[in-house]
Amino acid sequence: MAYQEDIALMAHLMRRAGFGAGRDELEARVAKGYEATVEELLHPETQPAVDMYTLLRYQPASLLPGGQPPMGNVNFMYHLVNTKRPLEEKMALFWHHVFATGNSKVDNYDQVLEQIALFRQHGMGNYRDLLVTIATNPTMIFWLDNNQNHGTAVNENWGRELLELFSMGVGAYTERDVREASRAFTGWTFETKIPRLPYGRFPWKFEYRPEDHDDGEKEFLGHRGRFNGEDIIDIVVEQPACARFVCRHLYNFFVADEPQVPAWPIDPPRDQKAIDTMTAAFRQSRFDIRSVLRVLFNSSFFKEARYKHLKSPAEVVVGSLRFVGGQELPRPGYGDLSMQPAYMGQDLLNPPSVEGWHTGPEWINSGSLMARINFVAGLVGDPSLPGVRAIIDRLKTKGTLSPEQLVDGCLDLLGPVEVSPETRRELVAQAKEWGQTGWASETSAKTADKRVGEMLQLIVATREYQFA
């Protein structure tokens, strides 16, 4: 039982810090040890990067997709499905939600993908440095209109969201602070955009224009001086509100679902002690995200939070594709695969607003739920896929299975998935209609393979399977 608990805990870690793992990988990681696995995940540079040349061989348009949504999403999906650095890619997804920029306004998937690459590179580094990098990122500058923020005509969009959605949250600053912060970022823009026609899109580059910067004295969060943008960020990250805000985002994404961000000034955190623990790590490490994640993944509050997080559409799609295998190459039809999260309510590279997506229970409605179930069921019901075949082969070694053994074996190898007694009774009732499942002959083997696939389909259609 102790070993089974180790498998369950490792599966929990890989669902949250990555996109899940099959039994072979889980067993290998349990042999390595939990803390050692955490350290490997926290240091993605120890694992090979995604082979972009294979992607470009099959989908050359995904390098510079321009205005083509499928090609833009193919690039991101290819990384998500094929990465051997799961936490690096998970952090890219996390920051894409926090620093939400969308092609609906940017109208340039090249630039949005450049920002995703930025998240891969800096996502587990110093938060102060990440904020500076984001502030100089042309995609964000255009998204939040800082290219229209001039010394003689202040635009407050970036300054406001820096404080409201990227660092401290509503209630931690005044309207004057917003204006003073915005003044400090005047002149932070990008080089003049080259007309798209006739040669297509050109890359955007950050440009600081000192002649357009308001160099006057500013008063911000109780500090006075001739601040520039970096000075503002230096002040922001020192605020206790910043540590609490960032750590609550991390808790919501990696541990358990919180209310939506606009409710945070009103609704207290789900687990204040957990937030306090993470906040202390954030401040003691001088804003190092990797240090916070290390504390988070090794904590009791994380280990005890199984199935308290509703999977996002991206987690559903990517986790399923990685689990069943056979989707590693961007084969024909990969464009449609890459758009599947959008059909479930999460249009990657195109969040609905600067607030990102609403998460937790708000992922689910009648349409999105059916899209989830149908997509996953279509994969796990196919015994030709490597991951499904691996489950069948493991069950096959146990000989003839009773209905109860079939259900418990599928639940175990698919997760392990924990279901309620009522759900298990329903699954067993269906299995009893089939009788025993065995592979003694060629005919019975075909039937058994089909039954395993059908049982997996029933499991992924349960309420419990929607949680990670």
| Separation of alpha carbons 68 and 285, rounded Å | 41
Domain-ending residue, one of 303, 334, 361 = 303
Residue range 290-322, pLDDT digits in tens: 999 999 999 999 999 999 999 999 999 999 999
With respect to residue 167, please indicate whether it lies within any of the assigned structural domains: yes
Burial 105-143 (b: 16+ CB within 10 A, else e): ebebbbbbbebbebbbebbbebbbebbbbbbbbbbbbbb
* Helix ranges (DSSP H) in 83-208: 86-98, 103-106, 109-122, 127-135, 138-143, 157-164, 175-184
| 142 and 238 co-located in one domain | yes
Q: Is the pLDDT of residue 358 over 70?
A: yes
pLDDT value for 27:
97
Answer yes or no: is 437 within a domain: yes
Pair 391, 288 in one domain: no
Q: Does 131 lie in the same domain as 243?
A: yes
Domain that holds residue 267: 126-303
Average pLDDT rounded to a whole number, residues 175-183: 98
106-124: per-residue pLDDT in tens? Answer: 999 999 999 999 999 999 9
Domain for residue 330, yes or no? no
Asked whether 102 and 140 are in contact (CB, 8 A), the reply is: no
- Hey, how many other C-beta atoms are within 10 angstroms of the C-beta on 422? 8
Residues shown for the chain: 468
- Cα 343 from Cα 325, distance rounded (Å): 21
310 with 15: CB under 8 angstroms? Answer: no
Domain boundary among 254, 279, 303: 303
Q: Is residue 58 part of a domain?
A: no
Output the pLDDT for position 1.
61
**What's the domain count of the chain?**
3
Model pLDDT for residues 31-73, shown as the tens digit of each residue = 999 999 999 999 999 999 999 999 999 989 898 898 888 899 9
Q: Is residue 353 part of a domain?
A: no
Residue 249 has pLDDT above 90, yes or no: yes
User: What's the pLDDT tens digit per position in 411-441?
Assistant: 999 999 999 999 999 999 999 999 999 999 9
Has residue 395 been placed in a domain? yes
Last residue in a domain, options 27, 42, 57: 42
Report yes or no on 423 lying in a domain.
yes
In a domain, 247, yes or no: yes
Question: Is 349:70 a contact under the CB 8 Å cutoff?
Answer: no
Q: Does residue 22 sit in the same domain as residue 131?
A: no
Q: Are both 288 and 385 inside the same structural domain?
A: no
**Angle between helix 289-297 and 2-17 (nearest 10):** 150
